Structures are given as C-alpha cells and as structure tokens.
Amino acid sequence: MSLLPSWVESANLPDCPFPLNNLPYGVFSTKDSDPRCGVAIGDRILDVQMAEELGLITLDHGPAFDVPFWNEVMEMGPETWAELRRQLTTLLAQGSEHQTDVEPMLVAQSDAELHMPFLVSEYTDFYAGRHHATNVGTMFRGAENALPPNWLHIPIGYNGRASSVVVSGTEVRRPWGQLKSPDQPLPAFLPCRRFDFELEMGAIVGMPSDGPVTVDEADDMIFGYVLLNDWSARDIQAWEYQPLGPFQAKATATTISPWIVTKAALDPFRVHTPKRDFELLDHLKDTGPMLYDIDLEVTLAPQGQAPTSLTKTNYREMYYSAAQQLAHHTTSGCPMTPGDLLGSGTISGAEKHQRGSMLELSWGGKDPLTLATGEDRSFLQDGDTLTLSGAAKGDGVTIGFGTCTGTVLPALEDPYKR
C-alpha cells in the first residue's frame, strides 16, 4: 500500500495518522459552529455537513449529514459507505478540481472539540484475548483452570451499558460500590480501591440483522473500529460477579476514541486469527483474515506529570475476530442494530509489557509497577490520566486512530449524603 497524496499538505507527512488513505469519521464543533459530522484529513477536519449542503457530496439516500452523528450513513449500507469514500477521495486528492471549493470547509483540528461520533444503540463486551483470559483466570482460579472450558469454542461476552459510553477526554469519577475484603466477614459500601482500565478495540455495527448471520455476513455488517477503554472496578467486580458476571464493576464508564476508522481504510492490514487448539464449529469458522494488524499503546500520567508507557501490544493478539463475535451474538436470533458497539475484550500479549490492564500488569497488586516519576502503581489513582493510542502502519502510510483518553476524578464524599 502506498500513500495517496492529498492537496492538504499535512496529510502527506510520513507519520501523519490521517492521510488520504484513512479518512476517519467524527463529530466536531468549533466556537462558531454546533456539533456536526467531519472527516479528518492531515491536521484538518472536512466539514461534511457544509460539503453536502453545497452539493459537493451527494448520496442516493441523502441527506446524511443533517444530524450530528454517523448513524444515518451507517443505515444507508455498504454501497453508500463505498460511494462516500470515493467522493471524499476525489474532493481531497492531489490535483482535485474541487480544491478551491473545499478549502473553506476545512477546520484546524486544534480549533475543534470532538464529540461522540455516533449514537450507541447497545454495548456488548467480550472476553476474547487469550493472554488476558489466561492471566485473569490464573489469578482467580489457578493456572490449571485458567481458561474456562467453553473459552476455546465460543467468544464469551456480556451485555453492557450503552448509556455510559463516553468520548475520549471525558473525566471518569471513581465509583462507590459494595466491596468485601478477604479479611472482613461482611461487605461494606466504599469508594472503589482497585480502579482499572482495559485496553480494547470497539467494532461498530453498521447494518441491522434479524436472525443468525454467518461470519462473512457479520464482517460485511461492521462499519468501522475505534479504540475502547473499558474502565473496571476490580474490587466491586470480585464481590459481585459470582455467579452471574460483570454488572456495576463495568457500568461507570466506557471511553471510545473520537474517530471511526472504516473497514475500507483498514483493509490492507487484515490478518488471520491465531492457531486454534480446537476446530471451531462451522458457524464460527474463520473464512478469511478478519483481524487487523494494529499497534496499540497505553500510557499513564499522574496529575501534572509526564506519562509512562505501560504497555505495547497489537490487536492481532485476539483469539476471535469482531466478525466471529458478531456472528456468535446473533445465533440466538438476537437482532443487531446500527450503532451496536462490540468491545473486543482486553488485548494483552504474551509478555509482561504487553498486558492490557493494571490487574495483569501489577498481578492483582502483588507486583506494583514503577512509573517514570518514581511512584508505584498497582491500580489507578485519582488524577491519573490514561491514554490509549493505536495505528496500523504500512510502508510510508499510517492509519491512525488518534487517542482515547480519560482522567480519574476522586470519588464523591458520599453519593447518598444529600
């Protein structure tokens, strides 16, 4: 894959996350404009609401950009997704006859505030990273029973909360919950002491289904991908999750990156899932490369201090692709809708510096990390800023996701004291 040159010069720099090859979709506002749909190009954003109003973008089922979210484009289907990408590429390519018309529709990213790029209809979180599941299982159940017996046969997941999905930059308040220390006979209602992050990718469903779909059909239904931090309260989780699963431990917030990177932009980076211990049943079998080679990194910055890199890993570590997860999600007949968000599950690699949560990095608090500032960390402290970043890197081309960041605010004094 080679760089597609644009007349927006900043898009042609080798490390630019948003070259013409990428064209990710977001929602932005400026001091002069309300939130509206935009497309990142270099260090600019193309105002596609204005481009559509002035007739430079015309979609068959349009208008698509009279609302400040991307769900209407999703609902128009894969042919329209491809048509929009063709029109955007034509407008922004080097030598475009439209340059003079389009130039006034560009906004500097530094002047823009980014918002939720789509309305999240529902949110499901999976548990499909083998190293993560093995690490957590070893801590909670011992090395012999690390992976549950179903794990190698189906992508395990749970239905999460769409209402607490927030965009990068949103502050996240430390939750209160019912906790029970191993050395206490009874639970107590306290602020979470083991607040954590989870490094994940989010897949956004763009097409609806009403019945079981195949893995190939599921792949076609996916609109794009974002970075996702599934904030987790480990002490609330440890007490509440047996026998049913995560509930309040995962409900405080889930942060996503503001740019939806389309499947078309990621297509050159498709890779196969890892070698399998058991052949999957036919309805979940891999039918082609449906994972992506995306480098991921997490940094932690204590309040007012420089960040430390906590982990570096890659999305290709997943055992199941988002298409397999989505296919599995529909086997019961569960309908899927545009705006459904699927969390991949925590993405950890085999090595210690590739682990995607504090729980694993500090091994349940037994082996705290030392930050560049000299401070120790087992779990997140108030004022810590967590930043996820990700990019697929080709020969002279970077398909970047931007960042997914959030700062931990102190717990309220007592949420029931009014």
d(C-alpha 288, C-alpha 284), whole Å = 12
- Classify 100 as helix, strand or coil: helix
What gap in Å lies between CA 216 and CA 28, rounded to an integer? 33
Nearest approach, Cβ of residue 126 and Ca ion (Å): 7
Please state, in angstroms and as integers, the Cα–Cα distance from residue 297 to each residue in 312, 378, 384, following that order. 4, 18, 16
Instruction: Tell me the C-alpha distance between 137 and 248, whole Å.
Output: 20
Contact segment (CB under 5 A) with Ca ion among 175-183, 184-192, 225-233, 314-322 equals 225-233
What is the number of other CB atoms lying within 10 angstroms of the CB of residue 394? Answer: 15
CA-to-CA distance for 258 and 109, rounded, in angstroms? 12
- Indicate the burial class of 186 (C-beta count within 10 angstroms; 0-12, 13-18, 19 or more): exposed
Stretch that binds Ca ion, among 92-100, 227-235, 325-333, 401-409 (CB under 5 A): 227-235
Run of H or E including 10: none
8/322 with CB nearer Ca ion: 322
The residue with its CB nearest to Ca ion is 230
| Residue 198 is a binding residue for Ca ion (CB under 5 A) | yes
> Do the Cβ atoms of 153 and 280 come closer than 8 Å?
yes
Considering only residues 305-344, where is the footprint of Ca ion by CB under 5 A?
none
Within positions 347 to 386, which residues make up the interface with Ca ion, using CB under 5 A?
A: none
* Exposed / middle / buried, residue 67 (Cβ in 10 Å: 0-12, 13-18, 19+): middle
Q: How far apart are the first and last CA of the chain?
A: 59
* Least distance from Ca ion to the Cβ atom of residue 158, Å: 9
Least distance from Ca ion to the Cβ atom of residue 248, Å: 14
* CB-nearer residue toward Ca ion: 122 or 230: 230
Binding mask 125-144 for Ca ion (x = CB under 5 A): x-------------------
Instruction: Select 218 or 228, whichever has its Cβ closest to Ca ion.
Output: 228
Name every residue whose Cβ is closer than 8 Å to that of residue 183 and which is 6 or more positions away in sequence: none
What is the residue whose two structure tokens read 């599921």?
218
**Cβ proximity to Ca ion, 230 vs 384, nearer residue:** 230
Catalytic residue among 132, 272, 328, 353: 132
Confirm or reject binding of residue 196 to Ca ion (CB under 5 A): no
Closer to Ca ion by Cβ: residue 42 or 202 = 202
Nearest by Cα to 158 from 348, 345, 316, 318: 345
* Nearest CA among 191, 187, 226 for reference residue 205: 226
Q: Please count the CA atoms within 13 angstroms of the CA of 30 that sit on its side-chain side.
A: 16
* CB 123 to Ca ion: min, Å: 11
Cβ nearer to Ca ion, comparing 49 with 387 = 387
> By CB under 5 A, which span of 16-24, 111-119, 229-237, 297-305 interacts with Ca ion?
229-237
Q: How far is the CB of 140 from Ca ion (least distance, A)?
A: 15
For Ca ion, which stretch binds (CB under 5 A), given 99-107, 165-173, 191-199, 220-228?
191-199
Range in contact with Ca ion (rule: CB under 5 A) among 197-205, 271-279, 321-329, 372-380: 197-205
To the query of whether residue 132 is one of the catalytic residues in this protein, the response is yes
Rounded least distance, CB 232 to Ca ion, Å: 7
Nearest CA to 284 out of 332, 220, 216 is that of 216
Mark residues 81-120: x for contact with Ca ion by CB under 5 A, - for none: ----------------------------------------
Q: Which of 122, 196, 219, 230 binds Ca ion (CB under 5 A)?
A: 230
* Amino acid type, 279: E
* Residues of the shown chain interacting with Ca ion in the complex, contacts defined by CB under 5 A: 125, 198, 230
Catalytic residues: 132
